[in-house]
């Protein structure tokens, strides 16, 4: 976990948890295509597999647990006043590759309160706006960006990005 130097003020009445998609909630299948073959092949792969569900990633179970808690509030008619809010904050774009992520969540019976498709834009500024208590991502670049914007961020050491993270460390010493 990475603590920011200056913490963003967060809600005291609502737990807000934000997740990256690939290699966090979902497997790193699509991330592998992107890292090894580039963006055009990634978009092609996502279009060809739009109706095929993504495999689960390491934090799917955590989102399921949060969802079960949320449903207890929904059953009491407290959907709008639920003290737990979940976010998907992903570099995917809604138009070209986000549909597969949403179809997968729906098929799993999981709800995300807000899905934010940033189309490659930095995640830090969006996290600064939604003010989650914690953000989970597999790429250190995004974890560090979140922390720089005042969000507590947790690195999820899973998937192909770890290979690229370690190669970057060896070549830069960082």
State the catalytic residues: 20
Burial group, residue 33, by CB count within 10 angstroms (0-12, 13-18, 19+): buried
For residue 81, give both structure tokens.
Answer: 């006043």
CA proximity to 135, closest of 10, 31, 42? 10
**92-125 burial: b if 16+ Cβ within 10 Å, else e:** beeebbbbbbbebbeebebebeebbbbeeeebbe
């Amino acid at each position: 976990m990475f603590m920011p130097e200056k913490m963003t003020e967060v809600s005291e009445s609502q737990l807000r948890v934000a997740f990256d998609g690939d290699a966090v909630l979902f497997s790193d299948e699509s991330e592998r295509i992107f890292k090894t073959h580039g963006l055009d092949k990634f978009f092609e792969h996502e279009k060809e597999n739009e109706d095929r569900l993504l495999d689960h990633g390491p934090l799917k179970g955590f989102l399921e647990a949060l969802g079960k808690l949320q449903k207890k509030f929904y059953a009491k008619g407290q959907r709008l006043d639920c003290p737990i809010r979940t976010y998907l904050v992903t570099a995917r774009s809604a138009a070209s590759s986000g549909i597969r992520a949403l179809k997968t969540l729906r098929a799993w019976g999981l709800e995300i309160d807000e899905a934010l498709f940033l189309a490659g834009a930095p995640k830090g500024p969006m996290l600064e706006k939604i003010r989650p208590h914690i953000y989970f991502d597999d790429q250190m670049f995004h974890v560090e960006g979140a922390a720089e914007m005042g969000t507590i961020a947790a690195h999820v050491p899973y998937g192909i990005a770890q290979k690229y993270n370690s190669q970057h460390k060896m070549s830069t010493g960082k």
